[in-house]
Structure 1
Amino acid sequence: MPLTRKAYRAAILHSIADPAEEGIEASYEYFADGLLVIENGQISAVGHAGDLLPTLPADIDITHYQDALITPGLIDTHIHLPQTGMVGAYGEQLLDWLNTYTFPCESQFADKAHAEEVADIFIKELLRNGTTTALVFGSVHPQSVNAFFEAAEKLDLRMIAGKVMMDRNAPDYLTDTAESGYQQSKALIERWHGKGRLHYAVTPRFAPTSTPEQLALAGQLLGEYPDLYLQTHISENKQEIEWVKALFPERNGYLDVYDHYKLLGERSVFAHGVHLCDEECARLAETGSAVAFCPTSNLFLGSGLFNLPMAEKHKLNVGLGTDVGGGTSFSLLQTLNEAYKVMQLQGARLSPFKSLYLATLGGARALRLEDKIGTLQPGTEADFLVLDYNATPLLSYRLKQAKDIAETLFVLMTLGDDRTVMQTYAAGQLVHQR
């Protein structure tokens, strides 16, 4: 195969560390006139254009962007494929919302053609919004996951997904059994896990909708295959937490249910964690588990405010999640806009560089993929975005007033959305052009 080498010139910014641990100045690299060099789907060099241009062959193909910023592809650590058609559903909190909107919407995924149609729309929305990796809930139907992985494989995307396991406290038309959930998950793992850039996540919806038998089998799957992911929900809503206590009176709280069934670990991601306590944060960190912070959804469903400073204190890995359809936007830029407000309401600051970290390298660390994605370091996969400073008249005018990259970044995260994403690249290939 011939060597394909291309270069992209623009302002370039990426996270290289967590600002909470290393300080803001040491947390990022910025090149006002930067060059990103790609070879065969991987990044081979990044730096100042003036330093790198003399080292390249004269005939290299260079794309030069004016008024644009190149960043790593964005990483969504919690989103629901089958809820695409019910985004922005009115007027309920979590448990009523599931019964009123979510379960009827997910029931349509018994139909393979429907699953394929929505998978196509869903992936296009991710890429339009600059999301190059996502941790995705399917429905209870295996075809929801097959449709998603088939569409993702065609574009060589780095994606993680799983079939929901749910054998109680849901409508009959939407439940599996402990055994069928295990067997269907196993078949999907055999077919997809580790194929190309795809990974499988064992996916019990949340403790109330799985019997102890099903949770035990979810834990068994994690033991049977190396490097599997686990995704579920935790401590999103106070009513939900009380329900878990009633269903599992023998356990010492919500996290302990998952802990007991051996579901905590290096590739376990727990969505929300709005009402976690110090002890639970410490246990999550100790086991290498991560939390997906979903501010848009937490505000929309009235669930509460995630305590990021507490998570930082315990050095707990935190990624960012849109949580569509509880969240109201596929845009991680819009999700960061809400994250800033969630911190403000708690008297805490969220710097734009911490926001960048959460949406890129922090998400990659939560998924244990920081050697592959989340930065623009040489040797990593060439998943990156081109953000347009002139995407809207207001954005264009506002950015002309920005004094430095910190202000530019903050304005992009406050005023930016899918229109800001000019191009999205995955493994060095253009997968979205605005």
Structure 2
Amino acid sequence: MDTVQHIFKGTFIHSTTRCDCEVIENHILGVDHAGKILFFEDAQKQSKLAQKWGFDESSIQELGKKKKRTLRNGTTTACYFATIHTDASIVLADAASQYGQRAFIGKVCMDRNDTYQKYSETTEESIRETKRVKAIITPRFAISCSERLLNELGKFAEEQNLHIQSHISESPAEIKEVLRLFPDYKNYTEVYDRNKLLTNKTVMAHGCYLTNEELHVFRERGAAISHCPNSNISLCSGHLDVRNALNQRVKVGFGTDVAGGYSVSLLDAIRKAIETSKILFMERSKWDTNKTENEVKGSMTPKGINRDAQNDKMEKNNVLSYKEAFRLATLGGSEALSIDHIIGNFEVGKEFDALLINPDAKDSPFEVFSHIPKEEMLQKFLILGDDRNIKAVYVAGRCTVPFSSNT
């Protein structure tokens, strides 16, 4: 029988395939030496679990009492666009390993249309050097890659069963240039698809202007979109309609696209994603100047806009809720990377990735009142919290905050 390395007791919040935000109070969770979850049961079974798994009940870590630690981010799994330089990419991989973060490191590939000549490679160099970093295939985007390079990268990814990451449909100008450079392809998605770069291990950043036809191809291939709302807004490139992508059954997770965006925090991505969905709602609901006076009055109360009607309309138009955004930041991200069988929630058998949150931190940016429901507490953290509320981060059962024990 597996031995227990860590035991945690308290309130757990995660996403499942059936529930965007499930709050589980007074539970006990055990993690083995490999960082996988052994059991997740009601705390009333604590004594029986101790007998079954052979642990001392005094070793249980009460989630509300652990020593405070700090972290600027809290991301347990990340996809990195490194540089075109292989050695630098390897250094980044070494650093991620040293600090205990689960990471997909990609040596960027680009053999044309570089901003500076020294930041490009020959096709042969790019193909050869990519094989040194066997992690995630990373063509920068179609504009900076020749057809031959894309084709060779697709073949290599297929041979080695590797993940793939790139950018797609970030702006209208980009799409126009892609179609000019690849006149034999009917759309941007086909450029990647025909070169075997659109698979169930592919994550494409942005996707703001993907058509439903292209989203259908994404769904068929099992490819995912990394929604980067901060970058999209910062660069004025566009907005991804997350609701439409989800309705098309396309996998969606969150990204930061630094330094296109200015924050590496997933909390920022959650907030910007919700804001983006509201912006899209407002764009669809622009004031109709052709309304009659009676129609205008019907949408108003003596004090102004009918807020209940407005909120109902927002729900019908599927503005992202904080619970849905929470799911996209957790289980959605693992699904986007096709590793949801390994991480994403607290199901038995998965690796224990978790943030230990302290809403009562001394310098917390928000207040918590007594007897506040746990869901409201989560909402406060997602909308108002920051690294001051993050006491610890666990990756595969290993506490990595602020640094792993061997650094």
TM-score (norm 2): 0.83
AA in 2 matched with 1:223: E
Residue 383 (structure 1) aligned with residue 327 (structure 2): no
Amino acid corresponding to residue 47 of structure 1 in structure 2: E
SS in 1 for 2:400: strand
Query: Which 10-residue stretch deviates more, 129-138 or 51-60?
Result: 51-60
1:185 match = 130
CA distance in 1, matches of 2:45, 2:264: 37
1:5 counterpart = 2:5: yes
Q: CA deviation at 1:371?
A: 1.2
Native 8 Å contact 2:21 2:326 kept in 1: no
User: CA 1:184–1:60 in structure 2 vs 1: closer, same or farther (change >3 Å)?
Assistant: farther
* C-alpha contact (below 8 Å) 2:101/2:400 kept by paired residues: no
- Give the share of equivalent positions with the same residue, in percent: 32
Partner of 1:274: 208
Tell me the distance in 2 between the aligned counterparts of 1:166 and 1:402. Answer: 55
What pairs with 1:105-184 in structure 2 (closer than 5 Å)?
128-170=72-114, 171-184=116-129
| Residue identity opposite 2:201 in structure 1 | R
User: Alignment partner of 2:155: what SS?
Assistant: helix
Partners of 2:179 and 2:187 within 8 A in 1: yes
8 Å contact kept, 1:67–1:389: no
Aligned pair count reads 359
CA RMSD of aligned residues (A): 2.3
Q: Write the letter of the residue equivalent to 1:265.
A: T
1:420 aligns with 2:389: yes
Do the aligned partners of residues 229 and 209 (structure 1) sit closer, same or farther apart at CA in structure 2, a change above 3 Å counting? Answer: same
Higher alpha-carbon Rg: 2
Give, as a single letter, the amino acid of the residue that structure 1 aligns with 2:86.
P
Question: Out of 61, 65, 85, which is 2:63 matched to?
Answer: 65
Question: Are 1:374 and 2:344 matched, yes or no?
Answer: yes
* Contact 1:6-1:60 within 8 A present in 2 as well: no
For the residues of structure 2 that align with 1:168 and 1:358, how far apart are their CA atoms?
34
Q: Is 1:215 the equivalent of 2:150?
A: yes
Inter-partner Cα distance in structure 1 for 2:267 and 2:370: 20
Match of 1:239? 173
After superposition, what is the alpha-carbon deviation per residue over 1:180-224, rounded to whole angstroms, capped at 9, x for unaligned? Answer: 1111111222xxxxxxxxxx1110000000111111111111222
2:27 aligned to 25, 34, 38, which one?
A: 34
| Paired residue secondary structure (1:425) | strand
Cα offset for 1:382?
1.7
SS of the aligned residue for 2:232 comes to helix
Higher helix fraction (1 or 2): 1
Distance change (3 Å), C-alpha of 1:264 and 1:153: same
Q: 1:393 to 1:53 in 2, by over 3 A?
A: farther
Does the CA contact (< 8 Å) of 1:318 and 1:366 recur in 2?
yes
Contact 1:156/1:426, CA 8 A, preserved across alignment? yes
Residue in structure 2 matched with residue 429 of structure 1 by the alignment = 398
CA distance in 2, matches of 1:158, 1:431: 11
C-alpha change, 1:259 and 1:400, in structure 2 (3 Å) is same
Q: Structure 1 residue aligned with 2:267, among 333, 336, 341? A: 333
Deviation string, structure 1 residues 263-306 (Cα, Å, up to 9, x no partner):
11110111000111111111111111000001111111111111
* C-alpha contact 1:402 1:408 (8 A) present in aligned 2: no
> Pick from 182, 205, 208: which aligns with 2:140?
205
Which stretch has the larger CA shift, 424-433 or 278-287? 424-433
Q: Partner letter of residue 138 of structure 2? A: T
Q: After the TM superposition, which residues 266-345 of structure 1 pair with which residues of structure 2 at under 5 Å, given as runs?
A: 266-345=200-279
